[in-house]
Amino acid sequence: MTNDSMTNFASDFTRDGAVCVRGLVAPDLLQRVTEAVEANRADPSDLAQVASQSDDPGRFLEDFCNWQRFPAYLELANATAATAQALMGSKTVRLYHDHLLVKEAGTRQPTPWHQDQPYYDVDGRDVISMWLPVDPVPRASTLEFVAGTHLGPWLMPRTFMQREAKWFEEGSLQDVPDVQADRDAFPILGWELQPGDAVFFHALTLHASQGAAGLRRVVSIRFLGDDATRIERRWRCSPPIPADATFPDVLTNQTR
Ligand X SMILES: O=C(O)CCC(=O)C(=O)O
**CB neighbour list of residue 31: distance below 8 Å, 6 or more residues apart:** none
Least gap, CB of 17 to ligand X (angstroms): 13
Binding mask 82-101 for ligand X (x = CB under 6 A): -----------------x-x
Q: Is residue 126 near ligand X by the rule CB under 6 A?
A: no
Least gap, CB of 225 to ligand X (angstroms): 17
Please, which residue, 72 or 218, has the CB nearer to ligand X?
218
Binding mask 132-171 for ligand X (x = CB under 6 A): -----------x----------------------------
Report the SS3 class of residue 72. helix
Residues 206, 179: Cα–Cα separation, whole Å: 10
Least gap, CB of 194 to ligand X (angstroms): 16
Half-sphere exposure of 166 (CA within 13 A, CB side): 13
Q: Is residue 37 near ligand X by the rule CB under 6 A?
A: no
Out of 20, 218, 221, 250, the only residue in the binding site for ligand X (CB under 6 A) is 218
Closest CA to 20 of 110, 87, 100, 91: 87
Report the SS3 class of residue 79. helix
Is 99:92 a contact under the CB 8 Å cutoff?
A: no
CA–chain centroid gap for 111, Å, is: 12
Least gap, CB of 129 to ligand X (angstroms): 6
Residues 18, 206: Cα–Cα separation, whole Å: 10
Out of 52, 90, 220, 238, the only residue in the binding site for ligand X (CB under 6 A) is 220
Least gap, CB of 2 to ligand X (angstroms): 28
Amino acid at site 208: A
Out of 116, 126, 135, 197, the only residue in the binding site for ligand X (CB under 6 A) is 116
Q: Is residue 102 near ligand X by the rule CB under 6 A?
A: no
Is 166:237 a contact under the CB 8 Å cutoff?
A: no
Interface residues with ligand X (CB under 6 A)? 99, 101, 111, 116, 129, 131, 143, 207, 209, 218, 220
